[in-house]
Structure 1
Amino acid sequence: MAKFDGNYQTEAHVYDELLMGGNQFETGVLALSAGEKARAGTVLALDADGGAYKIAPADASGALAVLVDNTGFEGAGNFAVRVCIAGKLSRPSLDFAGSVPTDVQAAALRNYGILALPVVKHQ
C-alpha cells in the first residue's frame, strides 16, 4: 500500500483486473457527498460547473472518466485522484451507478474514448 501526503492516498492496484492497455490518465478532483464511496472502476462524470468529478448517474451525463486507484475516501469532501480518460478497460470491473455498465452506458463511455470490453474474469 502506498500513501501520499495531503489528501491523496492509494492502495496497490492489480492492473490486469481493470486496465487493458492504451490508457491515458489525468489527475483530477473527486467530490463526494455524505455517504458516497468510490473504488477503482467507478465511472465518474465531470461536473461542468465546479470542474470536479462526481460519481456518474445512470443516465451518463457529463464527460466521463474511470477512477483508477482504490481509495480510502468515503463521505463528504474533495479528493485528488487519478482517472482514466481514454483507453481499454474491463467492462465487468467497472461500476456504473452501482452495476456493470449496460450496452447503452458502454456506448456512452465509448463517446469519451473509453472502451468497456466484455472480458471474462478467470477464477
Structure 2
Amino acid sequence: MNQELVEICLRVRDLEATLDFYTNLFDFEVASRREFPENKFDLIYLNSPGSSVQIELTYNYDAEPYTIGDGFSHLGVTVDDLEKMHEICKDSDYKTSELKGLSGGTPSYFFVTDPDGYRIEVKRKK
C-alpha cells in the first residue's frame, strides 16, 4: 500500500500572529482558508515551497489555551542558509535557541518557537 503524509494540524489561539510567523518569518503560503462561523472555527492550510505536506491551522473561536502534549516535540523545516535564518529568527520577537550540532559536531540546526508554543526545528538543507 502506498501512503503519503499530506498534512499536520496545529490548533492555534492567535490566528493572525500564527499566520505572521509562518508566512513572514518562513516562506509558507496560505493555500486555502475555510471559515465555519456557525461552528465557531476556521481552517487555514499552509504550503511550504518544495514540500507537498501542508500545515492545517485550526482556529477555534472560543477555545481555552491549549496544552501541547509531552509526547509532541516539534516540526522540522530545512533552509539553504542556516546561519542567515538563525539571525532572522534571533532578530524577531520569537524565542530562538542557539545553533546546535549533534554530539558537539558542526552546528546544523536550531529551534524557534511559534506564538502558540510549538517548536520548529530549523535544519541545514543537505
TM range (shorter): under 0.3
Bigger proportion of residues as helix: 2
TM value normalised by structure 1: 0.27
TM value normalised by structure 2: 0.27
- In our comparison, the structure showing a higher alpha carbon Rg is 2
Q: Relative contact order: is structure 1 or structure 2 higher (C-alpha 8 Å, sep ≥ 6)?
A: 1
